[in-house]
């Protein structure tokens, strides 16, 4: 008799869950949409990186719900940091020759994602898949299955002003 009651309870719960689910929505868990990871800067996408920076999303704290999305916040923070550092590279603030813009952007990309991985390992959750890799294998992982490899702007979007992210130092000798 207990078995029948348990199965009935299970089916009632399952039906209630299905009834309340919005099956037509692409994000049924209401997780924030943070396209990640960003693509590696190349000769093919550097113009878009520099010229469409204000047309790509930023993720202020107000973008995220109050709890349960810390892994998405870490991704958003990495993108915010990277976009801030790209603006430094593209503006000439840290680069002295236009030929160094790409090198600067590549250094910013690696540093932002390295810091993202440090943040990933500072939690009690499982780290992002690419963070578990080392060296060139890590960078190849981050540069695969990209949501926006060409750094296209989001139509109709203008990025909010966020504070400049500190901590990036361009090394011209590494170019």
Read off the DSSP letter of residue 53: G
For the chain, the structural domain boundaries read 37-174
- Chain segment 40-64, per-residue pLDDT in tens: 999 999 999 999 999 999 999 999 8
pLDDT interval class at 84 (50, 70, 90): very high
Distance CA 51, CA 60 (A): 21
14: number of CA atoms within 13 Å, CB side?
A: 6
Q: Compute the mean pLDDT over every residue in the chain, rounded to the nearest whole number.
A: 85
- Evaluate if residue 21 carries a pLDDT over 90: no
User: CA 129 from chain center: how many Å?
Assistant: 13
**pLDDT tens per residue, range 110-153:** 999 999 999 999 988 899 999 999 999 999 999 998 999 999 99
pTM of the model: 0.81
Find all residues with CB under 8 Å of 105, minimum gap 6, and list them. Answer: 41, 46, 49, 86, 89, 90
Neighbours of 55 (CB within 10 A): 16
What is the C-alpha separation between 78 and 52, in angstroms, rounded?
18
């Amino acid at each position: 008799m207990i078995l029948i009651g348990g199965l009935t309870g299970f089916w009632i719960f399952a039906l209630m869950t299905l009834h309340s689910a919005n099956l037509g929505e692409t994000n049924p868990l209401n997780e924030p949409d943070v396209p990640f990871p960003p693509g590696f800067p190349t000769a093919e996408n550097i113009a878009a990186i520099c010229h469409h920076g204000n047309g790509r999303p930023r993720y202020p704290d107000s973008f995220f719900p109050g709890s349960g999305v810390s892994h998405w916040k870490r991704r958003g923070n990495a993108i915010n940091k990277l976009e801030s550092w790209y603006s430094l590279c593209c503006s000439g603030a840290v680069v002295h020759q236009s030929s160094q813009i790409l090198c600067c952007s590549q250094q910013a990309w690696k540093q932002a994602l390295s810091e993202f991985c440090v943040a990933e390992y500072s939690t009690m959750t499982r780290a992002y898949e690419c963070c578990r890799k080392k060296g060139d294998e890590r960078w190849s992982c981050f540069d695969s299955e990209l949501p926006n490899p060409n750094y296209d702007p989001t139509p109709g979007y203008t990025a909010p002003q966020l504070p400049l992210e500190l901590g990036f130092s361009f090394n011209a000798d590494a170019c």
